[in-house]
Every structure is written in structure tokens, then in C-alpha cells.
Amino acid sequence: MKKKLSNIFKNLFGNAFGNFSKDIGIDLGTANTLVYVKGKGIVINEPSVVAINKKTGQVLAIGKEAKKMVGKTPGHIVANRPLVDGVVSDFEVTEQMLKYFIDKVHRDSFTLFPRPRVIVGIPSDVTEVEKRAVIDATLNAGAREAYLIDEPMAAAIGARLPVQDAAGNMVVDIGGGTTDIAVISLGGVVASRNLRIAGDEMNEDIIRYCRDEFNLLIGEKTAEDVKIAIGSAYPQKEKLQMPVRGRDLVSGLPKEVMIDDEQVREALSRSIRIIVNNIKTTIEETPPELLSDIMQKGIILAGGGSLIRGFDKLVANQTEMPVRMMEDPLTAVVRGTGIVLEDLETLKEVLVENQHEKSLI
């Protein structure tokens, strides 16, 4: 009887909170966090960076404002990412960042205590402890219910692939911290690979290359700018180059060198080779019947890392399969969480089993 009354109260309170709260989908990325609001679309796209005053423990800035501070703060202020390789490394800071985004979504409404349902995209192959950390951080940040969805599944749904059909769909999602490779059929993952090699590792490759070849120390932001401006995975018809500024490791003074696309391609070659080899390994593990479907549809690329020039051509050459970039690959995962939110009852089976609801009484 007590349990029955508890469920009645939960339903009553849940419906009341649901009427005033906006259900949201979150792509909780290592580099960027995107937020989808049910009925509105994508409303937030900000860096996953938090600036904290170490003396007081106070959060000074989150998102775009915090990213401006990276590498430019005094000793007592730290601007860093609370997620490393796609998983929570600092629980309390992640919780504060999620609360900031949830409150920002409800800022223009009259909701004093927002209690939305939240779907969070996470890398595949994360441990139960890592899943629990995301769930707890989301609930503590103000969610009424928290659900998890694998990022490659969300990306496939965002690309409008028929993930619930008995047909093969292959998605390669290269984010900031992780690369997810998955073959999906009947609402589940048939074969997959999760790598801790993605956009951030490519930035590190460029930093190492500049240090080894030019005795030049550059920052992460400069490396990312080089990757975006002239980075490539396949030889280009037009030669690209740009100046890179940093500190000379010999003299300790400022220094500028010119770097071209061939040198950047050499710097990125190790990480890109590992990703391509894992795509081939995943294909080898895929049942032949599903492979025939994938050969017709092609391998779908998602995530910011897949925008490296010529990456699609390289994968097509190495796998001898058609490869296509999905429309707006940067928002694929969050669009997928939004589609699930809009039709949660029908698509509930694609969610990770570990689902929780915050007690309301």
C-alpha cells in the first residue's frame, strides 16, 4: 500500500513538474556540449570548459566565457574541462556545468525549480561506474528523470537511419575525446569499437610535431586552429600553409614558423591510421548479411573530427566501401537525442538500460 501511494505521488509530482519544465537532450562532449530542447531544437552549443577560482572554489565562468580564459589565467584560476576522453573526470564541476545549461534553457520561462527529463549522449563501452557518474551528475543538476544513449546510436538516429529495422547501419563518430565506431541493427549495436583517440589527440599530435621538428612550443588552441585551417588525411590538390607562433624551446623567445598541409598530414597520420584500422576491424567482425546493407548505404561519418579534409576519401579507399558525411556532423548526436525525446515511448528501446528517476518525495 505504501509503495502504491508513493507511485501515485511520484506520478502527480512528475506530471506537475513536467508541465513547467522543458525536456532536453544533451550531447555531453569532451570539447563541446550541445543542448536540444523538445519542441524548439538546438538552443545551446558551448565549449565544455569551466573556470574555477581555486582559493574560494567559486565557478567564475562556464562555456564560451571560460574557454576564452584557457591558457591565460593567473595561478589561482583554473580553466579546464570536467570531461576527459568522453567520461566524467570531475564530478562536482560536471554537475555545476549541467546545472548551468539546464537553468539557461529555463531562464526565459517562469519555472523556479526546473525538473526536466534529460537524455544524455555518452560514448559506447563506458563502464557502469562512468554511466552512474553521468546519471548522478544529471539528477543532482536538476533533472527529474535521466536517460543515457550511446553516441553512435544517437548519431545514427540524428542521420535519420532506420536503426530499428533488421538492416545494417554503420556510423563512425569522431568527437573531441573519443571515436565511436558502431554497426547498428534492430535498435542495438552488433559490432563496435571505442577509441580514446579523436580530435584532442590530433591536437596533441600537432603540438608534438612542432616541438620535435621546429623546437617550437605551441598551445592547444593554436594546434586546433592549425588542424581546422590546413589539416588533412589525404593528399590535396591545392597546397595549404599558415604561420604558427609559439615559444622557441632553445632560446625561450617568441618564434614564428610556416607549416604546410603535408607536414600537418604527417603529424596526424598516426591517429588517423589507428582510427581507419579500427574501422576495418569492425567491418571484419560484422555479419555478412549486414555488410551487404552497409555496402548499399555506405559508412556514415559524424562528429567534428570527421571534417578533416579527405578523411572520407581515405576511409573509402581503405575499406573499398562508399563513405558519406552526414548533414551537419557536429550536431548529429544532439539531434538524435532530440528525436528520441520527441517520441520517447517508441524509441525507448534504443536507450542504454541503465535508467534512473529522481525521487520526488
Least confident of 85-94, 226-235, 260-269, 351-360: 351-360
Q: Looking at the structure, do residues 26 and 87 belong to the same domain, yes or no?
A: yes
Q: In angstroms, rounded to a whole number, what is the distance separating the alpha carbons of residues 181 and 205?
A: 21
Asked if pLDDT for residue 247 goes beyond 60, the answer is yes
Give residue 358's pLDDT.
45
Least confident of 10-14, 107-111, 142-146: 10-14
Asked if 38 and 56 touch (Cβ cutoff 8 Å), the reply is: no
Structurally, the chain folds into a number of domains equal to 3
The reply to whether 7 falls in a domain is no
Give residue 3's pLDDT.
42
Give residue 359's pLDDT.
39
Asked if pLDDT for residue 56 goes beyond 70, the answer is yes
Q: Looking at the structure, do residues 347 and 257 belong to the same domain, yes or no?
A: no
User: Among 74-83, 310-319, 338-347, which range has the highest average pLDDT?
Assistant: 310-319
Q: What is the pLDDT of residues 274-320, one digit of tens each?
A: 999 999 999 999 999 999 999 998 999 999 889 999 999 999 999 99
The reply to whether 8 falls in a domain is no
Query: pLDDT band at residue 17, thresholds of 50, 70 and 90?
Result: very low
pTM of the model as a whole? 0.84
Q: Looking at the structure, do residues 210 and 182 belong to the same domain, yes or no?
A: no
CATH code at 221?
A: 3.90.640.10
Q: Looking at the structure, do residues 150 and 285 belong to the same domain, yes or no?
A: no
Q: Looking at the structure, do residues 299 and 211 belong to the same domain, yes or no?
A: no
Asked if pLDDT for residue 360 goes beyond 50, the answer is no
The reply to whether 10 falls in a domain is no
The proportion of the chain whose per-residue pLDDT surpasses 90, expressed as a percent, equals 40
CATH code at 139?
A: 3.30.420.40
Q: Looking at the structure, do residues 81 and 97 belong to the same domain, yes or no?
A: yes
Give residue 92's pLDDT.
84
Measuring CA to CA, which residue among 357, 349, 268 is closest to residue 314?
268
Query: pLDDT band at residue 112, thresholds of 50, 70 and 90?
Result: low
Cell of 193: 569499437
Asked if pLDDT for residue 145 goes beyond 60, the answer is yes
Asked if 286 and 295 touch (Cβ cutoff 8 Å), the reply is: no
The reply to whether 260 falls in a domain is yes
Which domain, by its residues, includes 103? 16-154+333-357
Give residue 15's pLDDT.
46
Asked if pLDDT for residue 39 goes beyond 60, the answer is yes
Measuring CA to CA, which residue among 117, 183, 123 is closest to residue 156?
183
Q: Looking at the structure, do residues 59 and 75 belong to the same domain, yes or no?
A: yes
Q: Looking at the structure, do residues 298 and 210 belong to the same domain, yes or no?
A: no
* Of the residues 237, 268, 299, the one at which a domain ends: 268
Q: Looking at the structure, do residues 60 and 207 belong to the same domain, yes or no?
A: no
